[in-house]
Amino acid sequence: MNTTELLALDAKHVWHPFTQMQGWIEDQPLIIERSEGNWLVDTDGKRWLDGISSLWVTVHGHRKAELDAALKQQLDKVAHCTLLGQANVPSIELAAKLAALTGLPRVFYSDSGSTSVEIAVKMAYQFWQLTGRTTKKRFVALKEAYHGDTIGSVSVGGMDLFHERFRDLLFPVERVGVDSLAEIEELFAAKHDELAGFVVEPLIQGAAGMLLQRPGWLKGLEALCRKYDVLLICDEVATGFGRTGKMFAVEHEGVKPDLMCVAKGLTGGYLPLAATLASERVYRAFLGRFDEAKTFFHGHTYTGNPLACAVALANLELFEREQTLEKMKQVEAVLAEGLAELARKSKRVREVRRRGLMIGVEIQREDGTAYEFGERMGFRVCLEARKHGVLLRPLGNVVVLMPPLSLTVDEAKLMLHALGDALTR
């Protein structure tokens, strides 16, 4: 089928996520057919620089030889077998690796960021039930939080645009801002007997529009969680696997969560895999005789899928072999400098918010006022950037730059040029 035929069929049958399908074709969707390194190739053979790492996942780029090979090798052994009541080789090796990297020894697999958060919330809830503190049932989360799209992860989320419509289905959550630890301490002091856990994206709230936390805030939150015995649940779905310049964002502040959620970059963008990592304290609470029913009754069909675990393991090995975190510093510096210059020169840049290669450029009118939601200016800027062969995606008025960590300096310069020109247009 040619592109026109494929597009017509897509419009007829595929319901795209986070997408207003009325107007889908006018939004000029691309159909991707192939990929090479940091580039995607569409059905017309046109190459596109993947400036959002295919939704924040392809940390080492596409068609990475080592990842392709790991997947093929595993295919020759077994593609899938269940983790319910049995084990498989790659899931064991990967769990050991994740434990070594995070200091959290117990690994519970699932298949998306949303499920990893859903699981963390259920684990925290059950933990207190099992340890006799049965009033500790409520969760605390940040304003504007985004933790995924299942009902539990939507409950701890706080983005009205996405979540308000489902309010009646959601469980109530205590909502706090990031400005003041005093406000959080007040809440903890008054209600710690009711609080099971605090769910937070460490350092930077991605989908909220790349909102930065001030240095030391996370460490302060950890201290409060310890003081009042509230479990600290860090959602590293977006920040994990090098995105912020360290393997995990919590490392910047030496924070050790009780539960940690990882997904997205775990397999380098090859297969859907997630994990909820737990401390020994949390894990031990679930141990007991069979008839005590302390078991964590949760599990997805593809939990611990061997193909996904094998490619994740190879992806983690690449971080070491290629010195990914060291190498990305150069590109980070180029983007930081280029974006600072863009912000100085263009009144259309309200703010650049960046942590490592996790970047949001908030745009505004030249007179400093904000664009209305319905103007879709973020989207229109991204559409302009496509004229330079660069794929970006907005979050409202924030243009997101989340390139592969393997981005080259020349590619970084192309991204800067495309964004600058798009803003002018």
Ligand X SMILES: Cc1ncc(COP(=O)(O)O)c(C=O)c1O
Please identify, using beta-carbon distances, which residue of 127 and 146 lies nearer to ligand X. 146
Give the interface segment with ligand X, choosing from 31-39, 112-120, 177-185, 285-293 (CB under 6 A). 112-120
Q: Interacting stretch for ligand X, rule CB under 6 A, among 108-116, 320-328, 374-382, 409-417?
A: 108-116
Q: Given the complex with ligand X, which of 237 and 363 has the nearer CB atom? A: 237
Angle separating helix axes 409-424 and 377-385, nearest 10 degrees: 130
Residue span binding ligand X (CB under 6 A) among the ranges 100-108, 160-168, 201-209, 330-338: 201-209
In DSSP terms, 174 is beta-bridged to 140
- Three-state DSSP at 350 gives strand
Nearest to 380 by CA among 28, 10, 55: 28
* Per-position DSSP letters for 251-308, written without gaps between them: GGGT---SEEEE-GGGGTTSS--EEEEE-HHHHHHT---GGGT-S-----TTTT-HHH
Residue 112: CB atoms within 10 A of its CB come to 19
3-state secondary structure of 76: coil
Taking CB under 6 A as the binding criterion, the range among 24-32, 40-48, 231-239, 306-314 that sits at the site for ligand X is: 231-239
Taking the complex as a whole, the smallest distance from the CB of residue 261 to ligand X amounts, in Å, to 7
Residue 196 contacts residue 230 (beta carbons within 8 Å): yes
Pick one of 104, 117, 233, 255: the residue that binds ligand X (CB under 6 A): 117
Residue 215 — φ and ψ, nearest 5°? -55, 135
**Which window, 79-87, 199-207, 277-285, 364-372, contacts ligand X (CB under 6 A)?**
199-207
The answer to whether 207 contacts ligand X (rule: CB under 6 A) is: yes
Q: How crowded is the C-beta side of 156, counted as CA atoms within 13 Å? A: 29
Q: How far is the CB of 389 from ligand X (least distance, A)?
A: 25
DSSP, res 204: E
Q: Does 155 bind ligand X (CB under 6 A)?
A: no
Residue of 51, 113, 202, 242 that binds ligand X (CB under 6 A): 113
Which of positions 237-266 make contact with ligand X (CB under 6 A)? 237-238, 263
Which amino acid does the sequence have at 47? Answer: R
Q: How far is CA 228 from CA 134, 138, 250, 285, in A?
A: 15, 14, 20, 19
Shortest CB 240 distance to ligand X, Å? 9
Binding to ligand X by residue 37, rule CB under 6 A?
Answer: no
Check: CB of residue 241 under 8 Å from CB of residue 247.
yes
Smallest distance, ligand X to C-beta of residue 213, A:
13
Which residue stretches of 103-179 are H helix? 113-130, 151-156, 160-163
Q: Record the tokens describing residue 238, joined without a space.
A: 């977006």
Query: Count residues contacting ligand X (CB under 6 A)?
Result: 14
Q: Which of 118, 201, 332, 411 binds ligand X (CB under 6 A)?
A: 201
Q: Which CB atom, from 402 or from 419, has the smaller least distance to ligand X? A: 402
Q: Please, which residue, 315 or 418, has the CB nearer to ligand X?
A: 315
To ligand X, the closest distance from the beta carbon of 210 in angstroms equals 11
Among 114, 276, 397, 406, binds ligand X (CB under 6 A): 114
Query: With CB under 6 A as the contact rule, which of the stretches 30-38, 143-151, 281-289, 404-412 interacts with ligand X?
Result: 143-151
Kindly list the residues in this chain that would bind ligand X in the complex (CB under 6 A): 112-114, 117, 146-148, 201, 206-207, 235, 237-238, 263
